[in-house]
Structure 1
Amino acid sequence: MSVFDDLRKLSSAEDFFEALGVDYDPAVVRVARLHILRRMGEYLAKNDLDGATDDEARAACKEHLAQAYADFVSSSPIAERVFKVHKDAVKPAQPPAKPFIPLTTLTGAGG
């Protein structure tokens, strides 16, 4: 069984920390659990672990979980903007649409 098979069976963020042997502050995880796991997934997606041994994959998972956790120790879920709802909250405002002017209100210059 691979490390990924083992991780798929886990049901809480705390389980991930325990399974991978990463120290954590429960207060941080309580606030940002989904954000931490999502960020870990983003970090893992950037790595090509095809062909990696189980030990290499486990080490990568541990490293990325620790890295993701560190992101939220020094920041907040809103500041990190992991989920779309937070990313959309800071999109620049769209310029107002140009007003519609019906052709019937325009007068011709030559009659």
Structure 2
Amino acid sequence: MRLIDTLMRLSAAEEFFEVLAVPYDPAVLRVARLHILRRMGERLSGTDLAALPDGAVRALARSALEAAYAEFTRTRPIDARVFQVLKTARHPRGRSFVPLSSLRR
């Protein structure tokens, strides 16, 4: 079986790290697993992995995973804004406060 086929069958983030032999901290993965995999996918998009030999696929996928993981060891997922819902969300400025006296019945 080709490596690209193996990668396509993986479902858990830990599986990607194990198959590509990338060390990781489970605490980082618990918080940012989806963000890491999404960023890895973004880094690999536009590359026709199916047309490449296994060695090249492994090198590219490993590099993309290492870079994505490193990003989320330095920043919080909310700050990286990987997903559309986070890209369009606004950071609150201070606390939102509505005084009770401003509410009417």
**Which residue number corresponds to residue 3 of structure 1?**
3
- Equivalent residue runs for 1:1-111 within 5 Å: 1-49=1-49, 51-90=51-90
Q: Deviations 1:47-98 (Å, cap 9, x if unpaired)?
A: 354632111011100010000000100001101100001001039xxxxxxx
Which has more radius of gyration? 1
Give the root-mean-square deviation of aligned CA atoms: 1.6
Structure 2 distance, partners of 1:78, 1:4, is: 30
Gaps of 5+ in 1: 92-111
Letter of the aligned partner of 1:15 in structure 2? Answer: E
**Residues paired across the two proteins, number:** 91
Specify which structure has the bigger relative contact order, considering alpha-carbon pairs within 8 angstroms and separated by 6 or more residues. 2
The percentage of aligned residue pairs carrying the same residue is 54
Give the TM-score normalised by the residue count of structure 2. 0.79
Unmatched tracts of structure 2, length 5 or more:
92-105
* Structure that is richer in helix per residue: 2
Q: Which moved more, 1:47-56 or 1:80-89?
A: 47-56
